[in-house]
Structure 1
Amino acid sequence: MSTKAVTPAAPPRADRPARAGWLTPTWQRRLHSAAWSFASIGIIIGLWEWAAWMGWADPLPAPHVFLGAWHQQLHFFDRANTIGSSGEGGSWLGVMSVVLWTSMRVLLGLTLGFVLSLATGIAIRYWSLFGKLALPAVTMFAPISPVAWLPVAVFLFGIGDRPAIFMVFVAIFFVMVIATLAQIDEVPAPYIHIARILGASKRQIYTSVILPAILPGLFVTLRINLFAAWMVVLIAEAAGVGSGLGQIVMMARNTFNASLVFFTMTLIGLSGFLFDQALGWIQRRMLWWLDARKVGGRNA
């Protein structure tokens, strides 16, 4: 009686995990988040269109009106019509130029405000004498609205980019200093005690323990203040300190052009959304030691 040798099936190779799909989990999260974003915007547009069709939105134009008439709004973005600018630009090139001007002011103001507020907050806690001198001034200036600084910005810098950048800087500097102090005070004491036991100096404790511990919370505060920065720069531009989206909104108000108002608001919303996404990307790259989903959101 002969027996056949049975060859056992080869076990699955450890270096070949089962394919769950053609997308990685990261891209699946991103597409899932993007789908919900489009759904949210679509619902708002649908409700707006329905309200306009029912006559409840008068005198506001329906989305298909101001979005469909985009080609009629381009000449308002002509750089020859903006303060402190010259040249032709009545096309999408002009739109991109205006958006870029506003975005650069926000970016410079945010960068200066974040870096200097972080340095100031650490210095207040690092040197007690400096803290006793600087903290009362910070707490006194923090409640002042950034809009109140507009005349000061014009007095100091005149007309142009610098007043708008200064206002963005002021809008976040004092708030971020106070946030930095709060984050430093909330660093767990065992972290500092262990660093001291290991022989770390005061400087090493601040650079290697405190700074990594406070950055996640500060980035959250910075992303919240990003929207305040956009509001401030638009106010500065609308007041005539330079060309930008704020000046276009003011021009639309003066000409009673509702379509231009909402077209520009759409550009502002898209720009702010892209800014927040870019800041979230920077946050995830800088805070590489944290879980990406806890740092930059579910779509990280």
Structure 2
Amino acid sequence: MAIDVARPPLAAAERGEPPLAAAPARRFTPSPAWRQAASRIGWTLVSVGCFAGLWELLWAFGIADPKLLPPPHVFLGSLADQARFFNTAQRWQIGVGMNSGPSPAMAVLITVLSSTGRVLAGLLLAAILSIGVGVAIRYVAIIEKLTLPTITLLAPVSPIAWLPVAIFLFGIGNAPAIFMVFIALFFTMVLSTINQIDGVNRNFLNVARTMGATKRQIYARVIIPAILPGLLVVLRLNLFGAWMVVLVAEATGVGYGLGQVIMLARNTFNPSLVFFTITLIGLLGFGFDLVFRMVQRRLLYWVPQTAGVLRGL
């Protein structure tokens, strides 16, 4: 009786079959979010590059006077020379020279952080108090009658007009600059909050009342979530206004900051320092706006992204 011995399986070549093809290498496919971010970064660089290139062409053809409008390669090419002018934190003291104090790089960092801190502090105070006052005006009738006429009366007053008041109240230091930012944003944000409350869809309120919600619950769970998207847009736009106001305050009522650097450049007729500081302020504003938009998308995850929907119509 013959016994079959188990044989190992034949290879594909021995069976006359073609060899198996190697698995294709996985390719990195960027997500739509990454492609959109890359597109935005690319177009941002193109936009800024076109502006800078036009400026350089005006300089190359002799149309722009380099003594009054130095091209970007001039005021951006000497970072160390420009940074030494940022040592303003102690210059107001008698006997303190330009070469004393922190290093140029540290002086730039101190100046930037000082101005940024004043902007964020004033913006945060204005946002919290304005939203609270706006909701209180619509929540309690007596508060509306007592405060809304005064707020409407003070809203058109320019923030520059409040500068002497800030100095009278707080003297010299961080407080008047923060007060200037606060007063520049508070009244308009209160009126914006009231307008957002008045624009809430009445169907939301009727449904909440039908389900037995109290007035406090309607405000806490319907009205405030409904007005948050509009308020954050207003807050984002006011961020640029806060930077404008803090520069004016620093130029007159604070010992150091980006505003004082601008004034120093004007008094010493240093256009390169002026445009270098303007570039720095623009980069700070652009960066804060970018971070604010990212935070806004995270917080308002239920709001659809409708940017560019009507562009193709």
Does TM-score exceed 0.5, indicating one fold?
Answer: yes
2:248/2:259 contact within 8 Å kept: yes
1:77/1:90 contact within 8 Å kept: no
2:88/2:257 contact within 8 Å kept: no
Q: Structure 1 CA distance, aligned partners of 2:125 and 2:91?
A: 26
When normalised by structure 1's length, the TM-score is 0.88
Selected match of 2:36 from 5, 29, 43: 29
Question: Compared with structure 1, are the counterparts of its residues 242 and 293 closer, same or farther at alpha carbon in structure 2 (3 Å cutoff)?
Answer: farther
Unaligned runs of 5+ in 2: 1-25, 308-313
Partner of 1:3: none
Quick check: 1:45 aligned with 2:58? no
Quick check: 1:263 aligned with 2:270? no
Q: Structure 1 CA distance, aligned partners of 2:126 and 2:159?
A: 13
Q: Structure 1 CA distance, aligned partners of 2:89 and 2:219?
A: 51
1:49/1:62 contact within 8 Å kept: yes
1:114/1:222 contact within 8 Å kept: yes
Q: Structure 2 CA distance, aligned partners of 1:251 and 1:271?
A: 20
Runs of 4+ in 1 over 3 A off after TM superposition: 79-84
Partner of 2:131: 118
Q: Secondary structure at the match of 1:23?
A: coil
Aligned pairs for 1:49-128 within 5 A: 49-58=56-65, 59-83=68-92, 88-128=101-141
Q: Structure 2 CA distance, aligned partners of 1:221 and 1:187?
A: 16
Quick check: 1:224 aligned with 2:231? no
- Structure 2 counterpart of 1:185, one-letter code: D
Quick check: 1:130 aligned with 2:143? yes
Q: Structure 2 CA distance, aligned partners of 1:184 and 1:95?
A: 42
Partner of 1:9: none
C-alpha displacement of 1:79: 4.6
For CA contacts below 8 A with separation 6 or more, give which structure has more relative contact order: 1
Partner of 2:189: 176
1:151-184 CA distance string (max 9 Å, x none):
0000010000010000000111101000001000
Question: Compared with structure 1, are the counterparts of its residues 90 and 240 closer, same or farther at alpha carbon in structure 2 (3 Å cutoff)?
Answer: farther
Q: Structure 1 CA distance, aligned partners of 2:255 and 2:300?
A: 36
1:227-261 CA distance string (max 9 Å, x none):
11100000000113231100000000010011100
Q: Structure 2 CA distance, aligned partners of 1:186 and 1:119?
A: 17
2:130/2:187 contact within 8 Å kept: yes
Q: Structure 1 CA distance, aligned partners of 2:88 and 2:259?
A: 14
1:118-170 CA distance string (max 9 Å, x none):
00000000000100111001000000000100000000100000100000001
Q: Structure 2 CA distance, aligned partners of 1:164 and 1:20?
A: 53
2:167/2:253 contact within 8 Å kept: no
Instruction: Give RMSD over aligned pairs.
Output: 1.7
Q: Percent identity?
A: 53
1:236-294 CA distance string (max 9 Å, x none):
00113231100000000010011100111111000111111121122122212223565
1:66/1:259 contact within 8 Å kept: yes
Q: Structure 2 CA distance, aligned partners of 1:81 and 1:265?
A: 22
When normalised by structure 2's length, the TM-score is 0.84
Per mean C-alpha deviation after superposition, the further-off stretch among 180-189 and 271-280 is 271-280
Q: Structure 1 CA distance, aligned partners of 2:153 and 2:143?
A: 16
Question: Compared with structure 1, are the counterparts of its residues 99 and 160 closer, same or farther at alpha carbon in structure 2 (3 Å cutoff)?
Answer: same
Specify the structure having the higher radius of gyration (Cα): 2
Q: Structure 2 CA distance, aligned partners of 1:253 and 1:81?
A: 19
Partner of 1:289: 302
